[in-house]
Copies of this chain bind each other. A is one copy, B any other.
Amino acid sequence: MKNSVLPSKTLARLISYLRCLQDLRTEGIQKISSEELSQRAGTKAAQLRKDFSYLGEFGVRGVGYNTQNLIEQISTRLGLNINRSAAIVGMGKLGPALLNYKGFPEHGFKIQAAFDKDSKKVGQKVGGIVIRDSSELVKTLKENPVDIGIIATPAEAAQSVANKLIKSGIKAILNFAPAILEVPDGVHLRQVDLSSELQILAFYLQKDEEAKERN
């Protein structure tokens, strides 16, 4: 076990192994080899073993890994056994969909607050949560802090919302707005850009079409 930092790609894969392991548990499978688990996760056995090696030694040579034990080890070491709270800002189309997304609670994330600046939406309930006015964001989140802020506003509003979230003391932001945000050191930022995902696919389609033409 190296005690160096986790490469970010390793982190992403560990999370996907975790998901596969949870499926395995559901299927009642108690032990698995690096070969088989890596296949389910869409990677290679050596990659998987190397990934695990950043966290520790969890397997038994000649045998494989114990499903339940691996789940516990990985989730503990990644800090995913702790429940986390979040707030969503922006109650257009995407915000409410995220609020109702059942994958979040399943993975221990509880949406605790929702904000929008549209006074027509403020006061309404979505998924059991009352939408508050964005102007109350800093005050509300200072009184009732959350771990993660989720931005689902239009691009124009995203930076100012991020600033407010940071002011409230938030240290992690997931941004769905198609805008590049500036955040101070110590604040973690992840960007999900729906249009760029399609653009990436569009690029590969065009590449294929070009290749076909050449033949």
Contacts and interface: CB of A to CB of B under 8 A. Distances in A.
Binding site of A, secondary structure by majority: helix, strand, loop or mixed?
helix
A94 to B, nearest CB: 5
Interface stretch (A27-35, A60-68, A133-141, A170-178): A170-178
A192 B195 contact: no
Nearest to A82: B206
Contact of A180 (B40, B103, B171): B40
> What number of copies of this chain does the assembly contain?
2
B12 A194 contact: no
A42 B11 CA distance: 22
A19 B155 CA distance: 11
Interface stretch (A46-54, A117-125, A197-205): A197-205
Nearest to A20: B180
B194 A104 contact: yes
Given A104-B195, A198-B107, A41 B96 contact: no
A106 B195 contact: yes
A12 B200 contact: yes
A207 B3 CA distance: 13
A195 B207 CA distance: 31
A188 interface: yes
A163 interface: no
Contacts of A178: 19, 103
A206 B148 contact: no
A85 to B, nearest CB: 11
A172 to B, nearest CB: 4
Interface of A: 6, 11-12, 15-16, 19-20, 40-42, 78-80, 82, 84, 86, 93-94, 96-98, 100-101, 103-104, 106-107, 109, 147-148, 171-174, 178, 180, 186, 188, 190, 192-210
